[in-house]
Amino acid sequence: MFSLNGTSFTNNSLSGVSRCLNQSSRRVSAPMVVVAAVNSNGKPGDGSVSVLVENALTESPAPVEMEVKSTVTGGVQDVYGEDSATEDQSITPWTLSVASGFSLLRNPHYNKGLAFSERERDTHYLRGLLPPVVISHDLQVKKMMNSIRKYDVPLQRYMAMMDLQEMNERLFYKLLIDNVEELLPIVYTPTVGEACQKYGSIFRRPQGLFISLKEKGKIHEVLKNWPEKKIQVIVVTDGERILGLGDLGCQGMGIPVGKLSLYTALGGIRPSACLPVTIDVGTNNENLLNDEFYIGLRQRRATGQEYSELLDEFMYAVKQNYGEKVLIQFEDFANHNAFDLLAKYGTSHLVFNDDIQGTASVVLAGLMAALNLVGGSLSEHTFLFLGAGEAGTGIAELIALEMSKQTGIPLEETRKKIWMVDSKGLIVKSRMEMLQHFKRPWAHDHEPVQELVNAVKSIKPTVLIGSSGAGRTFTKEVVQAMATFNEKPIIFALSNPTSQSECTAEEAYSWSEGRAIFASGSPFAPVEYNGKVYASGQANNAYIFPGFGLGLIISGAIRVHDDMLLVASEALAEQVSQENFEKGLIYPPFSNIRKISAHIAAKVAAKAYELGLATRLPQPKDLVAYAESCMYSPAYRSYR
C-alpha cells in the first residue's frame, strides 16, 4: 500500500493508468507517479520533498499491451461510459495523481508554475504544458504583485489572492509574507468583511468545512471528509456577528479562511495543519434568506438545546478526531454564545476566543506601550469604553488583571478604574438587575448617564476605547472633551471594518489638535495636520493570535490560561522601538511580524511550561530559536 497525494491505494483500487492514449494501439507501461513523502503515520508532510516511484527498475516487468479503439468522433474510447450516460445514470468520478504534469500543475501544494526547473519539467512530464521560460520564486512574487496592483477594487484583489491560494500555495504565502503591510488589509479586515457579505456570489470552491444542522449526528464522519488528518488549529464561526456587519450566516466562512491564512503567513503554522469551519444553524438576516445566491440553510437561526447539542457534538468530534492538543479558536460568535462557549469548553478543550481574548491582549499591549508617551502606570489611568460586548468586556477584564498583577490590589478593586457605556448609557449599579451577567462586574456607583459625551465629561477618562461596532460615535464633541482634560488623550477606535470605526484617524488628530494617541481596528492612511504627518497604530489582532497559537503548539499546551494572554501583551509591547515612539506609534511595524510572532510564541510557551500545562518535554533551552525553527517556510522544494 502506498499513498498518492494523501489517497491510499490498496489491492482493490486502480493499480495503473495509461499516461497517454491515442487512436492506434500502443504499448503502455506504468508511468512515474508523484507521491508525497510519507511519515510514520502515513500522512504527507509539508516540509518534505516529493518522492518519485519509477517504473524503470532493474527487473522491469514487460509493458502491458492495451488495445484502444477509436470512436466515431475520433476521440479516445469512452471506457467509463461518461459520454453515453444519461442524467439519471451514475458514473464513477475517478481521480488519479500521476506525474503526467497536468495534475501536478493543478495541485496547489506542489505546483510551482513557471519556477519548475528544466530537469523537473523532464522528470515530471511538464514539457509543453508550460511556456519555455524558467523564472525564480522572487520574480513570480514581483509579477503577481504587479498584477494585483492593477485592480482598483479591493474585493477584486481579494479574489485574485484567493485564486492564487488555490493554484500555488507557496507562492500565495511568500507573496503575503513579503508584502504583509500591503496585503493584510486585502486578505483580512477590512476587505474580508465585504467578501463575507458577497460570499454567496463569489464562492467558487470550498476552502473549509461547512457543518450544518443537516450533519447533526454525523459530524465525526464529516470531519473525516477533510483531506488533511493532522490538524493543529481550527478556526470556527457560526456567522452570527461577523466583524461589525451582523449576522451573515454561512457566508461568514471568509473569516476562518482569512484568520488561518494569517496563522500560516504570520505565525508559521503549516497550511495543512489548519482547518476553517463554519457552523451553519441558519440566519436571521432577511436579506440573505431572500437572496437566491445565498449558500447556507434557508431558515431562522436554531437556538437553545438544538444549538447546544450541535456545538457539543462538534467539540467532542474534534477532540476525538484530532486529539487533546488541537487549538479551537472561536470567531465572531454573538455575545450571548461567545462567553458561554468559552466558559463551557475552557476546562475541557484548548479553546481561545479571539474577539474576547485576542482583542484584549493586543489592546493591552498598545496601552502598555502608550505609557511610554503619556507617563504613569496602568493603575493611574481611568478607562471609559463605548461598547460592553465580548470585545469591550474582554479588554476591560485583561486590563484589570494586569493592574492587579502590577499592584497587588484585588481584581474587584482594579475593575473600579474601568467604566462602560452600552446602548442604554453608562453602566451603573442602579441598572444591575437588568444587566447581562458579563456586564455586571462593570456596574459602579454613579448616577445614570445616557449620552457618551456626558459620560466623558463626568468620568474624565484618560483612555477612551470604542468596541461598539457603531461607526462615527466618537463625535467632535466627544474627542474635544477628551482633549480638554488630557494633554495626550488615548483614543482607540477598534470596531471593524473601517466603515464601523468609531472615528477616523483624521478626525482624532484634527479634533484633538494633533495631541491624540490614536489606534484603530482597521488601518488608516497617515494624516497630515498643521504640517506634521501622523502615522496611526492599528490594534490588529493579527499581532497576537498567530504567535499565541504557535506558542501553544510548540509547547503542546492543553489549556489556555489568562497569564498566557498577559505575557503575550508584554511581549508585543516590548517590540515597540524608540524609533516607533518618536513617530507616535504604539505598535511595531508589520514588516517584522514573523519575528514578533516568534517572540510572543516563546513567552507563551514559557508560561505554559511554568504553569504545568505543557506536554512537549523536555522544554527547549532557547524557545525563541525553537519557535523560529518550527515556522513554516514558503520556499519551493526541489523535486527529484
Cβ-contact 610, 557 below 8 angstroms: no
Distance CA 502, CA 4 (A): 52
Q: Helix (H, G, I), strand (E, B), or coil: what is residue 255?
A: helix
- 534 catalytic? Reply is no
Beta-strand runs (E) in 418-564: 418-422, 425-426, 463-466, 490-493, 517-520, 527-529, 532-534, 537-538
Distance CA 233, CA 422 (A): 34
Residues 6+ apart with CB under 8 A from 206: none
Q: What angle separates helix 154-167 from helix 180-187, to the nearest 10 degrees?
A: 100
Q: Quick one: cell of 614?
A: 505543557
> Which of the residues 259, 417, 439, 607 is marked catalytic?
259
Closest listed residue to residue 523, CA positions, set 609, 585, 579:
585
Q: What interhelical angle do 593-610 and 254-267 show, nearest 10?
A: 90
Size of the chain, expressed as the number of residues it contains: 640
Q: Which residue type sits at 146?
A: N
Q: Which residues are annotated as a binding site for a divalent metal cation?
A: 331-332, 355
Active site residue 307: no
Residue type, 556: G
| Phi (first) and psi of residue 491, to 5 degrees | -130, 115
- Closest by CA position to 404, among listed 562, 549, 235: 562
Residue ranges at the known binding site: 241, 331-332, 355, 496, 540
Rg (CA), the chain: 27
Cell numbers 453608562 label which residue?
426
> Quick one: which of 278, 290, 223 has its CA closest to 250?
278
d(CA 494, CA 515): 19
Instruction: Choose, from 188, 345, 509, 636, the residue flagged as catalytic.
Output: 188
Which residue ranges are tagged as binding site for (S)-malate?
Answer: 241, 496, 540
Could you tell me the three cell numbers for 351? 479553546
Active site residues: 188, 259
